[in-house]
Chain A
Amino acid sequence: MEVIGKSVIRKDALDKVTGRAKYTHDFQSIPMLSGKMVISPYGHAKIVSIDTTDAWEIPGVRAILAGEHFPLTGEAIRDRPPLAVDKVRYHGEAVALVVADTPRIAKKAADLIRIQYELLPVVNSPTQAFQKDATLVHEHLGEYKKEEDSTPVPNSNIANHIKIRKGNMDQGWAKSTTVVEASFSFSPSDHVAMEPRCARAEIKHDGNIIIMTSSQAPFMVKRLIADYFGEEIGKIVVHTPYVGGGYGGKAPVQLEILAYLASKAVGGKPVEILNTREEDLISSPCHIGLDATVRLGADQNGKFHAAEISYWWDGGAYSDKAIDVTRSGAADCTGPYQIEHVWCDSYCMYTNHTYASPYRGFSHSELSFVIERTIDMLAQKLNIDPLEIRDINAIRPGNRTPTRVLLNRSNVGNLPKCIERVKELIRWDKGAILEVNPRFVRVKGVSTSWKTSTIDTDAPSGAILTFNRDGSINLMSGVIEIGTGTKTILAQILAERLKIDLDKIHVKMEVDTQTTPEHWKTVASRGTFMAGRAVLKAADDVIKQLKNIAAIVLRAPVEDLEVADSRVFLRDEPYTGVPFTDICYGYKYPNGESIGGQIIGRGNYILRNLTHMDQETGAGKPGPEWSVAAYAVEVEFDRRDYTYQILQACSVVDLGKVLNEKTALGQVMGAMNMGLAFAGRETFFYDELGRVMNPQLRTYRPLRYGEHPKYLVGFVETPQLDGPYGARGVGELGLMGMPGALGNALSLAAGVNLNNLPLTPELIWKAKGGSQ
């Protein structure tokens, strides 16, 4: 391995440290109209009237969209009007849209639109939504167009219900001598990408629709806009430059729809909509919340035999991607443990909250908190060491997942090894509790997680390679550079396969859906796996073409040729060869005659052998492989006021193969940072009207510099045989176990079960009975 595994400097590094990296809102060469939303101030209310008279008085206002019935949108169920009509279903929902000459004018006019509301009862949690007589968020749920495998229940708030029925529960409970049962709950929160979402659209006279957007899914933007509005798909071109963070939040299609409608309303002129931070938090889709109950049974040796799990996901006002989150949460409902008898109901619930989008981990960090807390409660009851009980039950080759996929050495990582490494890194042998003094105690908590990526069974990825005359190569992939460094990894994969210097590879960072081959969506840790496979195939295609032309020039059969160091040469006589520069644009004989042409490589990949899950039992193969990780967190807890400091956080991840060590470390540590913030402090606070009380970064506080712990990261390398060089996805794993590990540490420290998030001192105080 020449380049694989090396911490090569990222291809986007210089752009990013010099301020030259351009994001959607940075392209300012063409004059743009500005779109401004008017958003709902309430969680649930009837729209009585919308008065735009005063807004129209402002010079420079070009269009106002409100009260119009546009086609319904939404990925799995078409339940979402682009602009609310008749009623609003969440605080932050777009009700009207002003298009004006400048952002200032648009804002001023938007402020002058007068909307009268009549308040409706608010559905403020998924548990409340599930009650028999609950207020309905959607009265006409049965009438929406939907995908076949979505199962909304008309006249209820259930948007989807996924079932897992594995084994025989009676047998499972019979074998269980110890059973624990617990309930869990946490509210929605947010991704808080530093770049607020931004979308612009222009409709040209020939009907071509040009969109630029800060999206993780430009190809989905193209597909859905065509689908929703009956546009010709080939006429839609979506550009995505660098994206300033996504974490799943930029995978849904939302602002693009509004920008398209806005442009349409002004004769196709270009219109830009840039979210304010407040809009980005509450108006665009957020991080899903969850209510859950678990019953887990084990024998006296700590072996799990039965699990009965109910998940009520807080999908918010519209189902969109929450349907798939619900399915994913069911597919991996138990966490990475071998449990023979499993019964799970996973419900996607409508509430009057901001609707949910994917969030790094796609249901797995949320369910991991639930499962890992339950396991600690069980371990305590059985008086078994928390790491030991996890090791006893850790999923292994030969086991079957809740959807009954048979696991082998390739399609699941090595969890026992991850647990073993965590044990060493966190110095578990020194004990979980260390008394500092009567006031302070240092406590460790552990957890594990797993994930398979349940994306579309036919999700594609493609790569194109073109040569420059100097023998260097342009690499085009539909993966978005959202910060993960995947495009640098792809260059490394290409360099390794072609045995070429990495500097000879030029990576196109911007994606446009017309000239870049499709990568389904830059989500689910699938960039390296799928695009990597496509790049390998494209590299092989290039090698074949290079050899074909070199065979003629060198008068040797192709099977005698090798490719390395930017030349093709005879295997047995390496000094006899031809450089890329002589053949990559065709070969020219001394007399001027030429053969060949520019070498253009192509490669594609499509997920294989995935199936839909059975509607009654959940059986099916929802994802290609299960990556695993183990975690620990050490806190110093203040018994006086229940504040705490996170001293150390540890993750050991089986990533198959390290492709770029520092990038991998960055992915894991960055995810841990985000996971600790989700676990310890981030949440939306709702009032009785369903209003988010903290839609700002001074009241909704991510971790800041200096609040970060010491990070301990370890890698295990169990190759996924069909992954590029054996690599597995790595972008989400660091996050997923943090809530569980922190929850377990603090529960032990405080001496009380903490089954809610975020784990604030106030929450601990309440759990200790402080409010009474």
Chain B
Amino acid sequence: MTGQTKGRGTLKSFTISLTINGEEKMVPVMASDTLLFVIRHHLGLTGAKPSCLNGDCGACTVHIDGRPMKSCLMLAVEAAGKKVTTIEGLQGTPIQQAFIEKFAFQCGYCTPGFIMNCQALVEKHPDADDQTIKEWLSSNICRCTSYAEIEEAVKSVLKKK
């Protein structure tokens, strides 16, 4: 454990163990580091995006033990011992294929967060109705598409289930 004392307060750095995309990693973090910061800057996984850093837009969404979580709102230390999945951990899923085929992305910046949210929805609620889909997906903002494309993509996967 290393410490640095300057100005007003102490910045302490710890090493924690994170399970990311099925791999266990030892990561140096500070108590105040968000999970988003750590997965991007220490683990080099840049699929989760910074956008509002305030929980408003969902661009940084990852899975914590299979549940969608805005990684800008979670401290890295809180993720110790939990299973973290980022977009890099999703390979060839039906929802990714549906996003491609339904043109459910444009600039692509919100896409990883949207896909992570959709994937969790598909896993947790394979029979989701319109209201449930809306409740889940209204936590993310897409500024390029009309949402109708995303709606089509997620429904095409739900239907297959």
User: What is A's interface to B at a CB cutoff of 8 Å?
Assistant: 7, 9-10, 12-23, 25-26, 28, 57-59, 104, 108, 191-196, 242-247, 274, 276-277, 482-485, 662-663, 665-666, 669-670, 672-674, 696-698, 702-708, 710-711
Interface size on B, residues (CB 8 A): 55
User: Whole-angstrom distance between the alpha carbons of A665 and B102 in the complex?
Assistant: 11
Chain A min CB distance to B148 (Å): 6
Residues of B contacting A17 with CB < 8 Å?
96-97, 99-100, 105, 108, 111, 115
Are A15 and B148 in touch, CB under 8 angstroms? no
Q: Which of A15, A696, A711 contacts B108 (CB 8 A)?
A: A15
Are B107 and A483 in touch, CB under 8 angstroms? yes
Residues of B contacting A485 with CB < 8 Å?
106
Are A666 and B143 in touch, CB under 8 angstroms? no
Residues of A contacting B143 with CB < 8 Å?
191-194, 245, 247, 674, 702
Residues of B contacting A25 with CB < 8 Å?
46, 50
Are B103 and A194 in touch, CB under 8 angstroms? no
User: Whole-angstrom distance between the alpha carbons of A23 and B88 in the complex?
Assistant: 15
Are B107 and A704 in touch, CB under 8 angstroms? no
User: What is B's interface to A at a CB cutoff of 8 Å?
Assistant: 6-7, 11, 40-41, 44-54, 56-57, 59, 86-88, 90-91, 96-97, 99-101, 103, 105-112, 115, 133-134, 137-138, 140-151
> If A18-B87, A194-B49, A705-B151 touch, does A277 touch B54 (CB 8 Å cutoff)?
yes
User: Whole-angstrom distance between the alpha carbons of A313 and B23 in the complex?
Assistant: 55
User: Whole-angstrom distance between the alpha carbons of A690 and B81 in the complex?
Assistant: 48
Chain A min CB distance to B109 (Å): 3
Are B59 and A194 in touch, CB under 8 angstroms? yes
Are B88 and A18 in touch, CB under 8 angstroms? yes
The interface centre, meaning the residue of A7, A670, A698, A707 with most chain B CB atoms within 10 A of its CB, is: A670
Are A10 and B146 in touch, CB under 8 angstroms? no
Residues of B contacting A704 with CB < 8 Å?
137-138, 140-141, 147
> If A244-B108, A669-B148, A702-B143 touch, does A697 touch B56 (CB 8 Å cutoff)?
yes
Are A19 and B50 in touch, CB under 8 angstroms? no
User: Whole-angstrom distance between the alpha carbons of A193 and B106 in the complex?
Assistant: 12
User: Whole-angstrom distance between the alpha carbons of A244 and B54 in the complex?
Assistant: 18
Residues of A contacting B54 with CB < 8 Å?
277, 696-698
Chain B min CB distance to A288 (Å): 18
Residues of B contacting A58 with CB < 8 Å?
6-7
Are A663 and B103 in touch, CB under 8 angstroms? yes
- What are 5 A-B residue pairs whose CB atoms fall within 8 Å in the complex? A10-B100, A17-B115, A21-B111, A194-B143, A707-B147
The interface centre, meaning the residue of A13, A108, A192 with most chain B CB atoms within 10 A of its CB, is: A13
Who on chain A is nearest to B30 by CB?
A104
Interchain Cβ contacts within 8 Å, total number: 173
Who on chain B is nearest to A667 by CB?
B106
The interface centre, meaning the residue of B59, B107, B112, B142 with most chain A CB atoms within 10 A of its CB, is: B107
- Interface of chain B, main secondary structure: loop
Residues of A contacting B87 with CB < 8 Å?
18-19
Residues of B contacting A696 with CB < 8 Å?
52, 54, 56
User: Whole-angstrom distance between the alpha carbons of A58 and B4 in the complex?
Assistant: 12
Are A666 and B145 in touch, CB under 8 angstroms? yes
Q: Which of A15, A277, A484 contacts B51 (CB 8 A)?
A: A277
Are B137 and A705 in touch, CB under 8 angstroms? yes
> If A18-B87, A19-B46, A194-B110 touch, does A703 touch B147 (CB 8 Å cutoff)?
yes
Chain A min CB distance to B40 (Å): 7
Are A108 and B7 in touch, CB under 8 angstroms? yes
Residues of A contacting B56 with CB < 8 Å?
277, 696-698
User: Whole-angstrom distance between the alpha carbons of A663 and B47 in the complex?
Assistant: 23
Who on chain B is nearest to A698 by CB?
B56
User: Whole-angstrom distance between the alpha carbons of A192 and B56 in the complex?
Assistant: 12
Residues of B contacting A705 with CB < 8 Å?
133-134, 137-138, 140, 142, 147, 150-151
User: Whole-angstrom distance between the alpha carbons of A9 and B141 in the complex?
Assistant: 23
Chain B min CB distance to A238 (Å): 19
Are A245 and B109 in touch, CB under 8 angstroms? yes
Are A195 and B109 in touch, CB under 8 angstroms? yes
Are B50 and A274 in touch, CB under 8 angstroms? yes
Are B107 and A28 in touch, CB under 8 angstroms? no
> If A28-B40, A697-B57 touch, does A670 touch B109 (CB 8 Å cutoff)?
no
User: Whole-angstrom distance between the alpha carbons of A672 and B146 in the complex?
Assistant: 7
User: Whole-angstrom distance between the alpha carbons of A14 and B100 in the complex?
Assistant: 7
Are B145 and A673 in touch, CB under 8 angstroms? yes
Are A59 and B6 in touch, CB under 8 angstroms? yes
Residues of B contacting A245 with CB < 8 Å?
106-107, 109, 143-144
Are A23 and B109 in touch, CB under 8 angstroms? yes
User: Whole-angstrom distance between the alpha carbons of A706 and B47 in the complex?
Assistant: 25
Are A697 and B52 in touch, CB under 8 angstroms? yes
Chain B min CB distance to A599 (Å): 32
Chain B min CB distance to A361 (Å): 15
Who on chain A is nearest to B101 by CB?
A9
Closest 3 CB pairs of A and B: A19-B47, A244-B109, A483-B107
User: Whole-angstrom distance between the alpha carbons of A7 and B140 in the complex?
Assistant: 26
Residues of B contacting A698 with CB < 8 Å?
54, 56
Are B108 and A483 in touch, CB under 8 angstroms? yes
> If A16-B111, A17-B100, A194-B107 touch, does A711 touch B148 (CB 8 Å cutoff)?
yes
User: Whole-angstrom distance between the alpha carbons of A9 and B91 in the complex?
Assistant: 18
User: Whole-angstrom distance between the alpha carbons of A9 and B56 in the complex?
Assistant: 31
Chain A min CB distance to B59 (Å): 6
Are B107 and A57 in touch, CB under 8 angstroms? no
> If A21-B108, A194-B57, A194-B109 touch, does A669 touch B145 (CB 8 Å cutoff)?
yes
Who on chain A is nearest to B100 by CB?
A13
Chain B min CB distance to A112 (Å): 8
Who on chain A is nearest to B116 by CB?
A19
Chain B min CB distance to A571 (Å): 38
Residues of B contacting A707 with CB < 8 Å?
138, 147
User: Whole-angstrom distance between the alpha carbons of A106 and B48 in the complex?
Assistant: 23
Who on chain A is nearest to B99 by CB?
A17
Residues of A contacting B138 with CB < 8 Å?
704-707
Chain A min CB distance to B152 (Å): 11
Residues of A contacting B49 with CB < 8 Å?
23, 194-195, 244
Q: Which of B52, B90, B103, B150 contacts A18 (CB 8 A)?
A: B90
> If A21-B108, A244-B107, A670-B106 touch, does A28 touch B137 (CB 8 Å cutoff)?
no
Who on chain B is nearest to A242 by CB?
B108
User: Whole-angstrom distance between the alpha carbons of A16 and B86 in the complex?
Assistant: 14
Chain A min CB distance to B73 (Å): 13
Are B47 and A20 in touch, CB under 8 angstroms? yes
Are B146 and A28 in touch, CB under 8 angstroms? no
User: Whole-angstrom distance between the alpha carbons of A15 and B112 in the complex?
Assistant: 10
Chain B min CB distance to A492 (Å): 14
Are B103 and A7 in touch, CB under 8 angstroms? yes
User: Whole-angstrom distance between the alpha carbons of A14 and B105 in the complex?
Assistant: 11
Chain B min CB distance to A276 (Å): 7
User: Whole-angstrom distance between the alpha carbons of A705 and B7 in the complex?
Assistant: 44
Are B137 and A242 in touch, CB under 8 angstroms? no
The interface centre, meaning the residue of A21, A58, A274 with most chain B CB atoms within 10 A of its CB, is: A21
Chain B min CB distance to A248 (Å): 12
User: Whole-angstrom distance between the alpha carbons of A544 and B19 in the complex?
Assistant: 57
Who on chain B is nearest to A23 by CB?
B109
Who on chain B is nearest to A14 by CB?
B100
Who on chain A is nearest to B135 by CB?
A706
Chain A min CB distance to B125 (Å): 15
